[in-house]
Structure 1
Amino acid sequence: GENTIISRAGGAPTLAVGMAHILSNVVGGPAMMAFWYHFAILFEALFILTAVDAGTRAGRFMLQDLLGSFAPSLKRTESLPANLLATGLCVAAWGYFLYQGVVDPLGGINTLWPLFGIANQMLAGIALMLGTCVLYKMKRAQYAWITVVPTLWLLACTLTAGWQKIFDANPKVGFLAHADKFQAAHDAGTVLAPAKTIEQMERIIFNDYVNATLAGFFMFVVLAVLVYGVRTVLAARSSNGPTAKETPYVAMPTPQVQ
């Protein structure tokens, strides 16, 4: 374990210290603070690993389904080359942002955290929209308010935040405004802190444009799902009976044992 928590900067130790302080006040007192600190660190590590693992697996399936629209052989999940290609692309995608966070002069947490917060809650909004569609297709519209109310709140918050992160004129808020500020300084030959070189200035500008593009893409996906969801709900309401159904069962092929 760790011998001291002095001068350990970063989100993980900060959260672990906070959890240790709260939990030790509930169970064990100061004598248990070291135990709760290491418990929190382990919890964070396992959460990150399992989230990355689950996200990579889900991303691989979705990517294979998408690529299969252009190359049907890539949709075959029993194909090892197709699996390796899709998995490699997913790992390369999150690996790039991991690398970006390490080399970013602003610090990875300052660059990626706004996107993570927006994307996380947008994903929750998408899940609630799909749940709303299922309720209407099952003719359980009387319960739809349970998903509709939080959906409206999440969409209002996340879409507003996404718009502000892209187009807000304040460089401390908007990605594009921040990029314009550093671009103007770059053109004038001035290095703005925390960058120390022109190369770091260029990296900050590039990262701002990447983040703005991603935020716009996230908003587009949410709005596309919203349009699809509204159309699905209207179609379900016009039907006299339930329209929810499951796809037929498809057995997995039995592997040939040599």
Structure 2
Amino acid sequence: MDLLFDHLVHFINRSPAEAAEKMKEIDRHAVIGGKHEKWGTWNSLMHAGLAYIEFLAVNDIEMARHADNELISLLLQNHHHEGFGAICFRTKNISTLRNILLQKGMNPKKVIHAERRLEDGELLQWKMLFIEQQEGELPLPFFIEWEEDSIRLKNLLGRGIIIKSGADEGISSVYFRVKNCKATAAKWSMLLDAKIEEYYSDYTLDSFCCSIIAGGTRLIFAEPAAKCQQSADTEEICQKPFKVCIKTINGKDSVHEIMGSWYEFSKRRG
């Protein structure tokens, strides 16, 4: 599968401009994205190379309620709770990917043709693919095929969406809170053709963890240890991403809690 990690969606209940300002306060370059005119949403972006964080918010609640888009439905479910929502991988051929997912026994939905109106009026277009899943399950990754993929970095640098010093940065890992880390890692490894790396205890998170590498990014599934030890009702666990680790070129190592989620920045060594 020709997958690369594309972006992590951070649901917000404030304006995208305010989210961008929050990132600028910690010396991160963030820009206004634009409006999804057919979905009733708008966004801002913080890139780390071609990978990025999308700060996504509702700006027309009625239009959003009628949007034929799984991500917008998930945003509405979490409308009053800010934080990470889902991850996306990019592909060069989304129709071929859909056929592969069907062969794996998954239930991919139809390919969506999407667009966003930029601040300067330009129309950005792409295709999206979602997988049908059970309610309450960790949101499965979705997939994107960019219209201008081969020259995308050049265009993003030209528009100032990525600055030169950020072109070689990247999202190294994403952490997910889950009910069962082994079962989740097994399902995602099958879905993404990714090898399961290891099973271990993370005492800083008080969790059992299982990780895979997909699209150049490590995905770490963390199962709360306290819940397991107490044999508590794991239905209480809200399954979703909760932390991202970003490799930077400049700046100091730092950790920040921002709008309901955790950001860890570490300077790239060597």
TM-score scaled by length of structure 2 = 0.25
Q: Give the structure with the larger strand fraction.
A: 2
Larger Rg: 1
Q: Give the structure with the larger helix fraction.
A: 1
TM-score scaled by length of structure 1 = 0.26
